[in-house]
């Protein structure tokens, strides 16, 4: 991986769990390594209210960090709609750019499907109320996810309808990708796009509209090749972007600029014209 970033070929890791315990021993160093690799902005999606508070604290500390807030489907067992009071307060913070990570997970048996669906639908209503896009988790629940999103989109108007959100770490079929794209969603790609056995995901990444592609790590999970088996870090989003650039027959710099622009548009992040205008590395004081 080339860590030379003399020009504005900067990247945004649009999905990393930097608040997780896996980073407790070296979080500042992880952030510094990301900046050195050209990953100058990060989005941390929460998994519950406590995670959201931790992510917002990091966002207040580092100028290049932004946050999504909400309850992950695997954290929705015994879901109580009253929880949305604190989530709603977090959603109105200036550094909150999305609602999520929300959605459905039928692979794990950690939360009843009814609780997952209720939480998902409530969070979508919150997203509409605050005018922020959603970060969607889908694991073996694609048909239900798309059906719920389609119903939600039908009730939206204005700006949010044109940028409703992203299907994070996309791994479903092309048919699901087409339906999501038709609804206006972006597709996020993570480390598995670099794996030898991920031809289906690569075909989707090669066919999706360029203006709807985001790059993510999902750190500390889904580490890309050649670091598979190690803890993932935001700096490795560069490996995901380089693999996708090759798939699209684009230069790394052009593809980096494209996905950065996509993230700025979807999450309404400040548009950066010069490399010196942004860094995730320097804490605010």
Residue 95: CB atoms within 10 Å: 17
pLDDT digits (tens), the chain, 285 positions:
444 444 446 899 999 999 999 999 999 999 999 999 999 999 999 999 999 999 999 999 999 999 999 999 999 999 999 999 999 999 999 999 999 999 999 998 899 999 999 999 999 999 999 999 999 999 999 999 999 999 999 999 889 999 999 999 999 999 999 999 999 999 999 999 999 999 999 999 999 999 999 999 999 999 999 999 999 999 999 999 999 999 999 999 999 999 999 999 999 998 865 444 445 666 665
Q: Would you state the structure tokens that stand for residue 107, as one six-digit string? A: 């692979």
In angstroms, the CA 282 to CA 32 distance is: 8
3-state secondary structure at position 2: coil
Among 37, 40, 44, CA closest to 242 = 37
Residue 55: CB atoms within 10 Å: 29
Query: β-pairing, 134-139 with 96-105?
Result: parallel
3-state secondary structure at position 95: coil
Rg value, the chain, Cα: 17
Among 67, 7, 267, CA closest to 163 = 267
């Amino acid at each position: 991986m080339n860590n030379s970033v003399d020009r504005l070929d900067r990247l945004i890791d649009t999905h990393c769990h930097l608040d997780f315990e896996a980073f407790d021993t070296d979080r500042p160093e992880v952030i510094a390594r990301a900046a050195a690799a050209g990953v100058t902005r990060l989005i941390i999606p929460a998994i519950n209210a406590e995670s959201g508070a931790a992510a917002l604290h990091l966002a207040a500390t580092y100028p290049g960090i932004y946050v999504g807030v909400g309850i992950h489907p695997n954290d929705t067992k015994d879901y109580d709609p009253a929880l949305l009071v604190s989530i709603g307060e977090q959603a109105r913070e200036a550094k909150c750019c999305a609602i999520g990570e929300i959605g459905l997970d039928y692979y794990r048996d950690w939360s009843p499907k009814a609780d997952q669906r209720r939480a998902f639908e409530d969070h979508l209503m919150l997203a509409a109320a605050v005018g922020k896009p959603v970060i969607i988790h889908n694991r073996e629940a694609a048909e239900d996810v798309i059906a719920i999103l389609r119903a939600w989109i039908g009730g939206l108007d204005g700006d949010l309808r044109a940028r409703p959100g992203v299907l994070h770490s996309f791994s479903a079929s092309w048919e699901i990708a087409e339906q999501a794209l038709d609804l206006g969603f972006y597709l996020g790609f993570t480390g598995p796009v670099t794996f030898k056995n991920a031809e289906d995901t690569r075909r989707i990444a090669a066919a999706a509209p360029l203006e709807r592609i985001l790059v993510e790590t999902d750190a500390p999970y889904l580490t890309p090749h050649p670091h598979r088996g190690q803890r993932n870090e935001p700096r490795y989003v560069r490996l995901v972007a380089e693999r996708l650039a090759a798939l699209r027959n684009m230069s790394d710099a052009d593809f980096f600029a494209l996905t950065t622009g996509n993230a700025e548009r979807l999450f309404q992040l400040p548009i950066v014209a010069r490399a010196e205008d942004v860094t995730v590395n320097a804490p605010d004081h």
